[in-house]
């Protein structure tokens, strides 16, 4: 239950059902009911009501008044980003800290064979805003490919190629070096379609052998965060994410105090856009190149 009444659209946005604007639209369309009555704009709720969206009841736990908390998790390969798996495979949620109230919401996903940075939050509005295509939030990956990659292939991927679900492109590709038949690159996207990074490289006949997400928005995977470990973001880091997502900063009283940190995970790692690496390719135009990938893949 909420500590005080709150506007319905704000409560449902925080639960991760959509943006406030989207939910206002659903209210206008009569898709939301409160205790069996069609909701109206301006309705306020306590959390004890029976709230339904398109006939589906919203669990009370999803709309509890909980402080906003965000954690960074270093996902290993072989873990699914799902709460339950019919095949009983390992999931990331089994390794997250327990919450007294609320629930963890994944800000985006990584496929089974991809490792690296995953962000989780108790704030559904933040998760929804960070993932919304209109915000164009940057996702940066370290990509290892087999074989020699031609300059034309790199240009094609930054200018854009046609995939089965529409056009796609990397904003930047940076050569990170390598040895033998393996070569590393940094690749930057501003959307999160399924297997998009792998499919872009496959469109040029290249096989991705390793894929690691190293940054989401302004937050970079901490160098001392080992696979399977997590750490809390500070209130300042959370508000940087909110700024990136187009949301107002939260006051300290509605942010969770910095929680426990896995052993050895004590250093914050927020990087501003202005501190980003100089790209090897931007919009198909070659520029400077950087040194080899040094890791965080421990």
What residue has token string 């370290």?
142
Does residue 163 sit in the same domain as residue 80?
yes
| Cα–Cα distance measured from residue 93 to residue 211, given in angstroms and rounded to the nearest whole number | 21
Instruction: Give the number of domains in the chain.
Output: 2
Among 111, 175, 232, 297, the one annotated catalytic: 111
Does residue 112 sit in the same domain as residue 240?
yes
Q: Give the DSSP letter of residue 91.
A: B
CATH number at residue 10: 3.10.290.10
Tokens at residue 123, please? 């704030």
Residue 1 resides in a domain: no
Does residue 162 sit in the same domain as residue 20?
no
Angle formed by the axes of helices 124-131 and 235-244, nearest 10°: 40
The rounded radius of gyration (Å) of the Cα atoms in the chain is 21
Q: Which residues, listed in sequence order, are joined to residue 237 by a DSSP beta bridge?
A: none
Q: List per-residue pLDDT tens for the chain, 298 residues long.
A: 565 788 999 889 888 787 788 899 999 999 999 999 999 999 999 888 999 999 999 987 777 777 889 999 999 999 999 988 899 899 999 999 998 877 898 999 999 999 999 999 988 889 989 999 999 999 999 999 998 899 999 999 999 999 999 999 999 999 998 877 899 999 999 999 999 999 999 999 999 999 999 999 999 999 999 999 999 999 999 999 999 999 999 876 556 655 545 543 333 333 333 233 433 444 444 333 344 444 445 5
Does residue 57 sit in the same domain as residue 95?
no
User: Which phi and psi angles does 103 have, rounded to 5°?
Assistant: -155, 160
Does residue 158 sit in the same domain as residue 211?
yes
CATH number at residue 223: 3.30.2350.10
pTM value surpassing 0.95: no
Q: Who's near 117: CB < 8 A, 6+ residues apart?
A: 72, 73, 74, 75, 213, 214, 215, 216, 219, 220, 221
CA-based angle 14:120:20, to the nearest 5? 20
Catalytic-residue membership of 84: no
Domain interval for residue 27 = 6-63
């Amino acid at each position: 239950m909420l500590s005080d009444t709150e506007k319905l659209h704000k409560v449902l946005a925080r639960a991760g059902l959509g943006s406030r604007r989207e939910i206002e639209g659903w209210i206008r369309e009569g898709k939301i009911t409160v205790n069996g009555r069609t909701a109206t704009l301006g309705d306020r709720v306590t959390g004890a009501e029976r709230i339904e969206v398109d006939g589906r009841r919203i669990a009370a736990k999803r709309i509890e008044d909980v402080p906003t908390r965000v954690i960074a998790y270093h996902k290993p390969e072989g873990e699914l980003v799902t709460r339950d798996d019919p095949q009983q495979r390992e999931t990331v949620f089994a390794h997250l800290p327990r919450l007294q109230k609320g629930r963890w919401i994944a800000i985006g996903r990584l496929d089974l064979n991809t490792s690296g940075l995953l962000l989780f939050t108790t704030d559904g509005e933040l998760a929804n805003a960070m993932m919304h295509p209109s915000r164009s939030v940057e996702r940066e990956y370290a990509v290892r490919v087999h074989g020699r990659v031609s300059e034309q292939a790199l240009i094609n991927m930054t200018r854009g190629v046609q995939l089965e679900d529409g056009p796609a492109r990397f904003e930047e590709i940076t050569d990170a070096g390598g040895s033998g038949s393996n070569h590393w690159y940094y690749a930057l996207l501003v959307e999160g379609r399924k297997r998009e990074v792998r499919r872009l490289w496959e469109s040029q006949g290249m096989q991705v052998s390793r894929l690691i997400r190293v940054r989401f928005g302004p937050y970079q995977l901490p160098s001392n965060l080992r696979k399977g470990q997590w750490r809390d973001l500070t209130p300042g880091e959370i508000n940087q994410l909110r700024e990136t997502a187009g949301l107002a900063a939260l006051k300290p009283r509605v942010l969770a105090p910095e929680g426990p940190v896995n052993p050895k995970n004590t250093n914050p790692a927020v990087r501003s856009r202005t501190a980003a690496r100089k790209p090897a390719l931007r919009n198909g135009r070659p520029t400077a190149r950087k040194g080899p990938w040094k890791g965080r893949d421990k």
